[in-house]
Every structure is written in C-alpha cells, then in structure tokens.
Amino acid sequence: MRIGELAERAGTTTRTLRYYESRGLLTVRRDAQGHRTFGEEDLRLLRQIRMLRDSGFELEETRPFVECLRAGHPEGDSCPDSLEVYRRKLAELDACIAQLRSVRREVGERLARAEVDAAARSPHGPEPRCELTGRARPRVDEGETA
C-alpha cells in the first residue's frame, strides 16, 4: 500500500509517517517508480505506536515495542526491553500521582484555612451548611421564608 493509504488506515498523516521513517521506526520499501510501499506489518507497528502514544509514552519509548514486533513476536510488549519501558513508565506515573496527591492535600488545607478565615470575617458569622450535602445554604433574610 502507498503512504496515503497507510496514513488513512492508521489514523495519522503522511507527514507523521515520514517523521517516523526519519526516526527509524518505519522501514520503507520503494517500488519501481520510487514510491514508498508498506504492508500490513507496518500498519501493525503504527497501531502499536499510536496505542502507546495515546497512553502517554514518548515516541522514543515506543522503539522497544516496535523492535519486538519486527523481531517476529506476536505482541510488542513480549520482549524484555518493552517490559522495562513499562516498569519505568509505571514508576514515572506513580511519582506524578504522589506529587498530585501532595498538591491536592496542600490546596485542600489552604481552602479549609481560607474558609475559616472568611467565616470569621463575615458580619453574619459562618455560612449555614446543608446537613446532607455539606454545601452552603442561601441565607434567608428577616421576613423571608425558605
């Protein structure tokens, strides 16, 4: 198949395919007229790359999976180098999650302090809270009914 058809079937652009070629992720064959030609195996490699990229992997991190498929393995993640990339990515994700939890905790503490400070400064005292949702209830002024 030609580059346009491969790009369409892989859900990408010809420009991306040329870039992958320049990075050595796609091996290009040429027909007698010099046109790039690709096979089903190339589509399989591109689907592996796209799945990994959609999951947050950098392009270079996809290389061991591509090489694993090129070596004839049924899956790109059945080789030791691919498994090592998975391990590194999980460690990276765990570190990000820990950092986000820390930031969330800090923001929550700041919010709690700010709410206490705001309630103390309010001329009407703290906002009434709904017992079921914990959300502030609108104030009812004198003479109004809820």
pLDDT for the residue 62: 97
Give the tokens for residue 5: 């058809």
Does 16 map to a domain? yes
Overall pTM > 0.85: no
- Neighbouring-strand partners of residue 30: 36
Does 134 map to a domain? no
Amino acid at 66: V
pLDDT for the residue 65: 97
Does 11 map to a domain? yes
Does 78 map to a domain? yes
Amino acid at 3: I
d(CA 14, CA 115): 54
CATH of the domain at 13: 1.10.1660.10
Per the CB < 8 A criterion, the answer to whether 42 and 50 are in contact is: no
* pLDDT tens sequence for the chain (146 residues): 999 999 999 999 999 999 999 999 999 899 999 999 999 999 999 999 999 999 999 999 999 999 999 999 999 999 999 999 999 999 999 999 999 999 999 999 999 999 998 888 877 666 666 667 666 656 555 555 55
Q: For residue 72, what are the domain limits?
A: 3-121
pLDDT for the residue 144: 54
Per the CB < 8 A criterion, the answer to whether 18 and 46 are in contact is: no
Does 17 map to a domain? yes
Does 146 map to a domain? no
What is the tally of structural domains in the chain?
1
pLDDT for the residue 21: 95
